[in-house]
Each structure stands twice: as C-alpha cells, then as structure tokens.
Structure 1
Amino acid sequence: MINCLIVDDAPIARQIVMEYCKLLPVLRVVGQCSDAFEVRHELQQVQVDLLLMDINMPVLSGIDLLKTLKNPPLVVFTTAYKEFATDAFDLAACDYLLKPFSLERFIIAIDRVIEKLESRKTVKLDTQPSSLVSHLILRSEGRINKLNYDQILYLEANRNNTKVFTIGQHLISTTPLSIIESHLPGELFFRVHRSFIINITKITGLQGNRIFLGKSEVPLGGNYKDEFLKILGI
C-alpha cells in the first residue's frame, strides 16, 4: 500500500483525486490538506509515501513547500499551470498532471510512482556498519555499477534521474537524487544546491557562488551557502 496525502485548496479538486484514488487498491489516502502548513503538520503525524499536490496554493506554493522538506515523500503535482513543469521536475517530481486530467492519465502517474518506489531497491548499502561502507551501488542503463566514494566528484539531479560525475566520465541513474542522498555519508557529501551534491574532499576552489572540483564547476545555492561555509571553516 502507498500512503498518500491529497493537497489542494479547492474542495472539488480534492474530491476528484479522492474518487480516482478509491479506484486503485494500491493507494491508501491518509488525509486531505488545503494548504502547505496543514501538509507540514500531517507529515509529522502520519507516514506519507506520496503527495498528490496542487502547486498554486495560498501563502506557500506546492513547489515552495517541497523545498522546505528535508526528506520529502514522492510527489505528483496536480495543477492548471504548465509553466511550473521545469521547477517540478528539478525537484524530482514523479509526474506533473495538468488539470483537468483523466483517470487514465492519473493511473499512468501512479504507475510511475510505483516504479520510483521499486527503484529505491537498486540503491543498496552493504550489511556492514555504515561507517565502514566505502562505495555506492547504482543501476545505470541496465548495468549495476559499484562506485567508490573517492571516485565521485558530484551528483546532479536531472528531472527524475541523477547524473553521477566521476573523474573523466559520468553515468545516469534512474534513482532520484533525494534517494541517493539518503545513502551517502554526510561527512563526505554535502548538498550545495537543490540540484547538486558534491564530494567535499574534491573541492579545489570557491569563487562567489561557484564551487570548483578540479576542472568541474557547480553552483552554490543561496539557501545552502551559510552552512557550506561553516563546513569549510570560513
């Protein structure tokens, strides 16, 4: 069962999604919310695997809400505004449904959610203590890759996928960046941007909002800068 939370400031829109959910036995609706603050409260009370969430809500939008969550559930955005699609996929949304959407399109979105939940199984940790784990296991293009932490320069969110950059090459994993992040040791890897995580041992320079990792360069997001500078002792 997938525990889902329906989020929309319009009661009729919530009811439509609720009726669709009732038709899919894999979904268990654990609550309904009309704004972002209700969502934050519910996430503290119940286990939520999936947010079926509108974007255009009062005070705090669905996208802005997602940015505030440290370990967010999977998300399917439901909205009447197509211009937010890029931001949604940058945040690793499973899907983006434009209102009014059909039951068929909703089912396709839920199938993608199921695929994402299954993809979590492709990122595995060794059975030894985490402090002794020195590598990451990732599936890419049908191949299982073992990457030592020391090989990885940085990781970049690419819609629902993740690009993993090593010295001289990169691979693309179908596992979202947020899932991979949960398996990376915090003493070695740090999120410096909503779309980038770097290996802090590979830093060779910093200029303004640019971080240099040898010949590579990644942006430093404003929301992460203060904490990043603390880590560097600046």
Structure 2
Amino acid sequence: MKNLAALIIDDDPEQAEHLQSILEKLPIFLSIKIINDSTQGYAELLENEYDLLFLDMEMPKLSGIELLKSLALPPTIVVTSHPGYAAECFDLDDVVDFVEKPFTVTRIGRAIRRAMQEVVEKIDENTIYFKAGHKNQQYKLDEILYIEADGIYSMIYLKSGERSLINSNISEVEKQLQHTKLVRLHKSYIYNCIHIASFDSRHLWIGNQKFALGVSYRGRLAEYLNVDPNF
C-alpha cells in the first residue's frame, strides 16, 4: 500500500511541518496535507477523504477533542503536548495512538505501524464492487449517497455528483449491502444512513434533497439511527 492520504491538523506550523517531513520519508503516503486551523480542518474532513489523521488537541476555536467527538474520522493519531487528554482520547473509537510532543521519528513510526492495520481494514470495509456494463466497478461505500431502482438495473448517486448505472436490480443490491450503512428505506431507494441530514415520519433529507420514506421501513430507519421508533 503506497497511496495513502494523510491530514495533519495542528495550529503550530513548525510542529506540523516537522511531522510532515517525517511522513514524507515513508513510501506509503501519496499525499500529506497540513491545516493549521481546526475549523478549516473540520471543513476539510467533511469535504474530502483521508486514510490517516494526525490531530493536535489544544487549538483555538475548536479543540482536537471536540473535533473527535463531532465527526466520524479516519484512524487518528493524536499528537499533543497535553498528556491529560490520553484517557479521554483512548475511549474514542477513531483514536489508534496517542503521541506526546516532542516526538521522535521512532515514536511516530511505531504509531503509524499501529494504525496501519485499522487503515487497511477500513479500506476493505469501505469498498464494494458492482457489475457496471461489462466490468466490475469499485465503489467506496461512504461516497454513495443513495441508490435508485431503474427497472432491472439500479442507479448509484455519488457525493461527487456523478452517477453510475449498474447491472443489478434494487433487491439484488440490497442483499449485497447487508451489514452496511446503506439501507433500503423505500421500495425504490436505498439510502446511505451516514448522509441523512434530517427526517420526519414520511420523508428524509440527504443534504437539501428530499426523499420519500416508506411507511413500512420506518422501524428499520429508527433501528439504524438509534432513535425512538415512534418518531
């Protein structure tokens, strides 16, 4: 694996650049981006996918711990001068290691080795193949917004704005997506629960786009989102 994308969020430019210089010597990273403002880092994580995150804790506007609790993040290595955050960080699923500043090359290398197993598992879990035309096409599950029935085919709508026609009907797609966050909530639609912005008893919204919620599927939505089934 030599094509990973890493993001460093740290309000100390010198520390961030030092970490970047270490990572650049490793052959596994295709890209390494630095953001010195945590609110900009939050926006970046909403807009783009990263395989590994290096996150400082004490930052103005939005602390690292607040960011950790507000988003589903890629495997995260916390890099901080404040060891008091360690216990709280390790209670969070996305944190794979906690590195104190000043750090050494050896310590960062050990953290990356710990992270790699989760990075690989996350990539595998986030990937699915559907037959599109004459070839099997790879799709990232979290890039799919929703899937719409199209006769004996189905249309996949992606975050990028692109769409893709696949050879399976909606029921076949539903079976293939068992145990994922893509859930059939209408006879003609499968929705990605991680992208549902809001919902009521008859509709749900993905971004600003409104969709029908099948009455018989309300219990399933409540189960996946862990909300009161009498919503």
TM-score, length of structure 1 as denominator length: 0.54
Question: Is this contact kept in 1: 2:57–2:65, CA < 8 A?
Answer: yes
Pairs within 5 Å for 1:144-223: 183-184=180-181
Counterpart of 1:66 (choices 61, 65, 68) is 68
Cα distance in 2 for partners of 1:112, 1:62 equals 20
Cα distance in 2 for partners of 1:46, 1:124 equals 16
- What residue is the counterpart of 2:76 in the other structure? 75
Q: CA deviation at 1:88?
A: 1.4
* SS in structure 2 of the partner of residue 101 of structure 1: coil
- The Cα RMSD (Å) is 3.1
Question: Is this contact kept in 2: 1:6–1:32, CA < 8 A?
Answer: yes
Counterpart of 2:114 (choices 109, 112, 115) is 112
What residue ranges of structure 2 are gaps of 5+ in the alignment? 131-167, 186-192, 195-224
What do residues 96-120 of structure 1 show as CA deviations (whole Å, max 9, x unaligned)? 1011111011011111221112234
Q: CA deviation at 1:232?
A: 2.1
Question: Is this contact kept in 1: 2:16–2:34, CA < 8 A?
Answer: yes
- What residue is the counterpart of 2:15 in the other structure? 13
Change (3 A) 1:134 1:45: closer
* SS in structure 1 of the partner of residue 55 of structure 2: strand
* SS in structure 2 of the partner of residue 94 of structure 1: strand
Q: CA deviation at 1:94?
A: 1.3
Q: CA deviation at 1:134?
A: 9.2
Question: Is this contact kept in 2: 1:2–1:26, CA < 8 A?
Answer: yes
Cα distance in 1 for partners of 2:65, 2:73 equals 12
- What residue is the counterpart of 1:131 in the other structure? 174
- What residue is the counterpart of 1:91 in the other structure? 92
What do residues 179-205 of structure 1 show as CA deviations (whole Å, max 9, x unaligned)? xxxx256689x99xxxxxxxxxxxxxx
* SS in structure 2 of the partner of residue 12 of structure 1: helix
Question: Is this contact kept in 2: 1:21–1:28, CA < 8 A?
Answer: no
Question: Is this contact kept in 2: 1:2–1:27, CA < 8 A?
Answer: yes
- Asked which structure has the greater RCO (Cα within 8 Å, sep 6+), the reply is 1
What do residues 130-162 of structure 1 show as CA deviations (whole Å, max 9, x unaligned)? 5336976xxxxxxxxxxxxxxxxxxxxxxxxxx
Cα distance in 2 for partners of 1:29, 1:126 equals 25
Larger radius of gyration: 2
Question: Is this contact kept in 1: 2:10–2:38, CA < 8 A?
Answer: no
- What residue is the counterpart of 1:232 in the other structure? 229
Question: Is this contact kept in 2: 1:36–1:57, CA < 8 A?
Answer: yes
What residue ranges of structure 1 are gaps of 5+ in the alignment? 137-182, 192-226
- What residue is the counterpart of 1:24 in the other structure? 26
Aligned length: 150
Moved more, 118-127 or 98-107: 118-127
Change (3 A) 1:60 1:186: farther
Question: Is this contact kept in 1: 2:174–2:184, CA < 8 A?
Answer: no
Q: Identity of aligned pairs, percent?
A: 26
Change (3 A) 1:130 1:97: farther
Pairs within 5 Å for 1:35-74: 35-69=37-71, 71-74=72-75
Question: Is this contact kept in 2: 1:7–1:53, CA < 8 A?
Answer: yes
